[in-house]
Amino acid sequence: MNSNIIFRQLFDEKSWTYTYILADSETQEALIIDPVRDQIDRDLKLIAEFGITLTHILDTHIHADHITGSGLLRQKTGAKIAMWEWAHIAKPDILLADGEIFTVGDIRVKAISTPWHTDVCTSYFIWDMLFTGDTLLIRKTGRTDFQWGSAERLYDSIQSKIYTLPDTAQIYPGHDYTGQTMSTVWEEKSYNTRIKDTTTLVEFVETMQAVNLDYPKYIDIALPANMQLGIYDNQK
């Protein structure tokens, strides 16, 4: 990680969501990844304490377990919302193509399409850090049984887009339910319980078919709200 980067990993206990703030300490420009609406005050307070300016808001996908803070953050800061070009949501400012590179101050961000936990998942590669959302978790993957998920296609996203990165690249997921905060590409290739680098497509599909998770309890509220960037019911 570049020594000029300010980096914070933040946690929402209700949804087990990680939010990430990165800033260039020289230009004082900042980005946030996967903000949670209920944590907006926390995030704005931290941004003010650092004396940085939020210029970019990134969501890794359209979340089903919490309401994004993207819309409110844009209202309060004027920052631009960026998402993958396939994300059919209300009025993002920037539509990102697979492999597109943009900068926030001197921070170089590469958007990598890694769909099929949902159909619009995007990972963000910054220096030696990969922010994977729910595509690849620590020792697990995102589920593939809703939001147009596909085990077959998720396999390709992980094997061809993530496991081809340097082994030393650090993995920062969208959630963790065991208290871990980060991993590496090498660790996941070696120890992920669902998909190692040696796992075959057939093995992965069988594993995902055996995953039996409850229907996400917040999805019926979160999905329609997140299609509107978290601005819903005329709330401001």
Q: What is the reported pLDDT for 236?
A: 47
20-43 confidence digits (pLDDT tens): 999 999 999 999 999 999 999 999
Q: Is residue 182 part of a domain?
A: yes
Q: Per-residue DSSP letters for the chain?
A: --TTEEEEEEEETTTTEEEEEEEETTT-EEEEES-BGGGHHHHHHHHHHHT-EEEEEE-SS--SSS-BSHHHHHHHH-PEEEEETT---S--SEEEPTT-EEEETTEEEEEEE--SSSTT-EEEEETTEEEEETSB-SSSB---SSTT--HHHHHHIIIIIITTS-TTPEEEESB-SSS---EEHHHHHHH-SS--TT--HHHHHHHHHH---PPPTTHHHHHHHHHTTT--TT--
pLDDT tens-digit series, residues 45-70: 999 999 999 999 999 999 998 999 99
> In terms of pTM, does the model score above 0.75?
yes
Look up the domain containing 49 and give its range: 5-223
Question: Confidence class of residue 233 from pLDDT cuts 50, 70 and 90?
Answer: low
Instruction: Note whether residue 26 is domain-resident.
Output: yes
Asked if residue 108 belongs to a domain, the reply is yes
pLDDT reported for residue 1: 64
In this structure, is residue 216 part of a structural domain?
A: yes
* Structural domain includes residue 202: yes
End-to-end Cα distance, the chain: 37
> Rounded to whole angstroms, what are the CA distances from 229 to 15, 78, 105, 128?
17, 14, 24, 29
Confidence label for 230 from pLDDT (cuts 50, 70 and 90): very high
- CATH number of the domain encompassing residue 186: 3.60.15.10
pLDDT of 192 > 50? The answer is: yes
Reported as a single tens digit per residue, the pLDDT across 162-181 is: 999 999 999 999 999 999 99
Q: Is residue 233 part of a domain?
A: no
Assess if residue 87 is contained within a domain.
yes
Q: Work out how many domains the chain is built from and give that number.
A: 1
Please check whether residue 230 lies inside any domain of the structure: no
